[in-house]
Amino acid sequence: MIRKATYDDVPVLMEIFRKAREIMRRSGNMHQWNDSYPSEEIVRKDISSGHCYVLCEGGGVVAVMAFIPGPDPTYAEIYNGGWLSDEPYHVIHRIAVAEPGHNAAKTLLDWGFERAHSIRIDTHADNVIMHHVLSKYGFTHCGTIFLANGDPREAYQKDR
């Protein structure tokens, strides 16, 4: 079951993000999501805006994502490539799973494509796990975008 997150979910979500950072570090991704990202403030903002969704299994939350209607200002310019289309899209940010290997990310992506024709997502160049997930799911690498702080991210898009 996928549902909107509530403020009661915040402690579990913060633990999922902590575990995701550990998984990133073990896989060689040392620079994405510093120890304070995403902050509780960001998570609460995602919840208050109605964009934070959780995947529940076995009575608990096992994955989370921010599913946000575009346009996203960080996607306004793309370098070394181009977007697949200019049609309306949703963006997935802050996707994280408690334990990898259980198809939780695929389940969240499937849910997203039931609601949006086009999805854009970005990740750090060193996030080999997310690059694999996106490639396996059929996303196309479209180029590089830059976050508001200037950090580069590899950008992907998939249209149904």
Is the full-model pTM beyond 0.75? Answer: yes
Range of lowest pLDDT (62-71, 80-89, 97-106): 97-106
Q: Give the integer Cα–Cα distance in Å for 13 and 97.
A: 9
Average pLDDT rounded to a whole number, residues 141-157 = 96
Domain that holds residue 94: 2-159
Give the orientation angle of helix 128-137 with respect to helix 104-115, to 10 degrees.
50
DSSP-based three-state secondary structure for 13? helix
Q: Does the pLDDT of residue 102 top 80, yes or no?
A: no
In the structure, what pLDDT confidence band is assigned to residue 34 with cuts at 50, 70 and 90? confident
Number of domains the chain contains: 1
Q: Does the pLDDT of residue 153 top 90, yes or no?
A: yes
| pLDDT of amino acid 82 | 98
E-strand ranges in the chain read 2-4, 52-57, 60-69, 90-97, 118-123, 140-146, 152-159
Percent of the chain with pLDDT over 70: 100
| pLDDT of amino acid 101 | 73
Q: Does the pLDDT of residue 106 top 90, yes or no?
A: yes
Q: Are 63 and 105 in contact (CB under 8 A)?
A: yes
We report the CATH number of the domain holding residue 100 as 3.40.630.30
